[in-house]
Structure 1
């Protein structure tokens, strides 16, 4: 289970790098490979380049403003404007990806996002997410947060390895099978006579969210629900949407995984221990293993808790066409869930 939400993180056992040097290290690892070698007004970035840099900068912001500062919360939180200006000073090649930040030396943001570039919107969103998560808490408070995403950790039948996707959320980073819960997904239009009735399908409907998880697995792997067995279900925080939650499914699969997508579970947990950056020969560099698996941080407490008891874990009995599914959520996540038994009784 995740630690208590109000408990401050203990002091780190390693040196925590200063703001500018660590942000530069994150940009060097995640953003530099996507930046143009030179800046030219005659050759502006295309939409794919804007989208790519925006995704990478989102990761940089969350890594510094939330995860790095969790190791030393007294470090300065950088909001949208100071973060954008720092990034631009560190990497002038970001100029084509900025609109608002590039206008003048002294700028004040009025909250209107219409004048922001895609990268600037991504930076602002990541700052807002990081601030809401609060690096001073050991685990975020997500009470009453709506579920905005389902995420699946697919585990092999030996319960030793998992299937991850490379570069699907952030380029150069491994992540789970995920599916956003959009308004279109959440609501179903039903025709009743001449009237249209809106029905909330996934709001507090565990069975429908589970079906969405199964569908996501099939879309990525081709595996049917008959190949899958739900081991545990949790609720954790989201890194992609402010003040929202993720329904996290740990699912065993009887099929063989693609070797290129297979990661040992013990290695995954071990890779996420320690600092995000270390000092080598006078300069700060990222720890590549941690950066490569940083999208797994929200799920790490649940995976770490499950591994010692994996041989004792019995799959959850999921009855078809029932909306009440047992939830193995942390008491610290604060989300109100209808937790019932296999028969859907409370």
Structure 2
């Protein structure tokens, strides 16, 4: 028995790098995908940069709601930049080699920005709750100091948890296949390549997602339950429409963001094929960040007015 274990250990090759397979299953479409994802990435950068610029320079948009939107747009740029440039390089070179350190770094920043977005969306829901349910106290409760504190908390709260999670995952031995059937280093496909018992890591991931995914979602649901109850008390139809319009964009983003995240990290592994997981990942890493600035601009009269005003100044 001891000899058998020794021979098995000797046959194991310790992995020093991974290979991201990406979209290698459709080799004839690599250049088309490169062009599509490049256009999408540039669109995300441009649209979110415009929102950041507009919410900073326009006096009308110097409110807590747009302060949080400013931060959210910055998160979106960082979140997408962790994934897309690397994916574009792999499509261009048709090589997916990535070192363990680079893979760990990509996963770390992806989780950091993802958890920060969850917390920031919760802060935005709280802002809307105070604005609609306690409008007289809104300037006092949501003062600049409180907004900055909530933004900083969104930035830093996930750092120790995510770093610990990454250390636990990459302290596992990786042997045998080093091919990740994904376009970036996400937790589920990387864990599949780990040798030994990954059950403690899976439990840790579920517990972390409870804290950074389900708990914020619960707070958002509670906030919107009270928001909707207050909106229904408004007598005039125009008043109801105006109140709902101030939070409809945020609610749409929450549904899209949390919907795909929950499907990815809470669906049992046996129920999700690698191809399905890859498609869902495209939604929350590329498609939804593309839609978010469109949702926030087209459905927001203040931002549209500010954009027209700035464009008219530029065209003079």
TM-score between both structures, scaled by the size of structure 2: 0.30
Whichever structure has more helix as a proportion of its residues is 2
Whose Rg is larger? Answer: 2
Q: Which fold has the larger relative contact order, with Cα–Cα distance below 8 Å and residues 6 or more apart in sequence?
A: 2
Whichever structure has more strand as a proportion of its residues is 1
